[in-house]
Amino acid sequence: MKILLIIHYKFDPNSGAAGVTWKLGQYYQQLGHQVQYYSLDNLPNWLPELAKIVLFPWFVALHIRKLANREVVDVVDASTGDTWLWSRIGQYISKNPPVITVRDHGLDHIEHQEFLKDVQLGKRPMSWKYPLYRGSIRLWEEATALRHADLALLLNRPTLEYAVNNLGVEKQKTELIINGIPENFLNLPYEPLDINQNPVIQIAQIGTYIPRKGIQYSVPALNKILDRYPQVRVTFLGTQCLECPDIEQVYADFDINVRDRVTVIPRYPHAELPTLLKDHQIKLFPSTCEAFGMALVEAMACGLAPIVSATPGPMAIVTHEQNGIVIEPRNAEAIENALEQLITNYDYLELLRRNAYNSAQRYSWMSIAQNTLTLYQKTLV
């Protein structure tokens, strides 16, 4: 098959959605398929970043038309919203329209609902710009792209049901998928906790330092835990993005008496994550909205016991008190209590770590790529 993978971000293999896109393409190529990529990086450099985001579906439609007319694309796999214009207009003026697949990396409609909850709670401000595009036009684009897709790939059942019941997507065109982790994350040596030799407990929170990742709830809880337990350390990994505070602000959010036990790593090569997580035992994942949680599975594969908020993506991965702890979203006290439960009960911590490690072994990119190619093939027929 000739496959075009589209993502409305800069094409960074070390980042979330773009990293997923890149990994899929790598495995498709290993399985003998032809792969091309199209992202914001393909747009003219002179365009401002905001203009690139708004105009991206127009450039996508032109690019698909060019490839389709040359018969060099069979399947388009695009992030939500990217193909709305092509689906409405382009496919009718092309002799060889490809199969259009829309892939959920985190449905903006659900994120929009969670954002409004935070605004109502006074936890996040709403910019005057937000309703002009992100809270209106962008939502329409995503719904349109999903409705007109030949195949819609959703990351969890609540999102799939929302797309069908609220956005008018035909259920027979939807499929549940999962994301994977690289082969070098699988079957890593598992290192049991030896509390006698090393009494330090290390907590990792992976992801951008933004409200959607729950930092306004995790930071107060972590401040209390660090103050109460001098053997505890905290590492924030991958905090940096355009809307994130600089590294000094992250440190400033912690009380001065515990700041020396906080480490911030703004960016890192993805392949180095297992090394960076070595000697960590707990993965904190308090997002208020999460479609899947690739960093969650990766941390579990590195032997970390997860504490996750009860959002659809993580709840499809973590079963409460079996391979992690599931807590109420937006609840700093629940985060604090869950952390304390693991810090003070080494046997329980070790049980969840081992079960989490075992659970993560099923998330192989190769098998996920093979399953997705099967879905493409069924849609092509």
Render pLDDT for 245-275 as a digit per residue (tens, 0 to 9). 788 889 999 999 999 999 999 999 888 999 9
Distance CA 180, CA 172 (A): 24
316 plus 196 within the same structural domain: yes
| Parent domain of 66 | 2-180+364-380
pLDDT at 14: 77
Mean pLDDT of 9-36: 91
Q: What mean pLDDT do residues 30-39 have?
A: 96
Partner residues linked to 38 by β-bridges? 6
Same domain, 18 and 39: yes
Kindly report, residue by residue over 314-340, the tens digit of the pLDDT. 999 999 999 999 999 999 999 999 999
| Residue 369 and residue 355 share a domain | no
pLDDT of 242 above 70 = no
Q: Phi first, then psi: what are they for 175, rounded to 5°?
A: -145, 145
- In the predicted model, what is the mean pLDDT of residues 104-130? 90
CA dihedral 208, 48, 52, 119 (to 10 degrees): 40
Percent over 90 (pLDDT), the chain: 77
Q: Using one digit for the tens of pLDDT, what is the confidence trace for 150-198?
A: 999 999 999 999 999 999 999 999 999 999 888 889 999 998 887 777 7
Percent pLDDT > 70 in the chain is: 99
131 and 26 belong to one structural domain: yes
Residue 291 has pLDDT above 70, yes or no: yes
Least Cα distance to 348 among 235, 190, 195 occurs for: 195
Average pLDDT score over the chain? 93
pLDDT bucket at 282, cuts 50 / 70 / 90: very high
Phi, psi of 287 (to 5 degrees): -55, 145
Instruction: Indicate if 189 and 68 belong to the same structural domain.
Output: no
Amino acid 6: pLDDT? 97
**One domain for residues 188 and 332:** yes
Helix (H) or strand (E) holding 371: helix 365-380
Euclidean distance between CA atoms 22 and 212, whole angstroms: 24
pLDDT in tens, 71-106: 899 999 999 999 999 988 876 777 788 999 999 998
**Prediction pTM value:** 0.87
Looking at the structure, do residues 171 and 205 belong to the same domain, yes or no? Answer: no
Domain with residue 78: its CATH number is 3.40.50.2000
Residue 79 and residue 116 in one domain: yes
Considering its fold, how many domains does the chain have in total?
2
Do 206 and 264 share a structural domain? Answer: yes
Tens of pLDDT, residue by residue over 360-371, are 999 989 999 999
Identify the pLDDT of residue 321.
95
Angle 196-198-201 (CA atoms, 0-180°, nearest 5)? 115
Query: Is 299 found in the same domain as 192?
Result: yes
Q: What is the mean pLDDT of residues 131-160?
A: 95
Report the pLDDT averaged over residues 22-26. 94
Let me know whether 39 and 70 are in one domain: yes
Q: What does the alpha-carbon distance between residue 324 and residue 310 come to, in Å, rounded to a whole number? A: 12
Tokens of 35: 């792969």
> 35 pLDDT band (50/70/90 cuts)?
very high
What confidence score (pLDDT) does residue 112 get? Answer: 93
Task: Give yes or no: residues 107 and 195 share one domain.
Answer: no
Average pLDDT, integer, range 130-142? 94
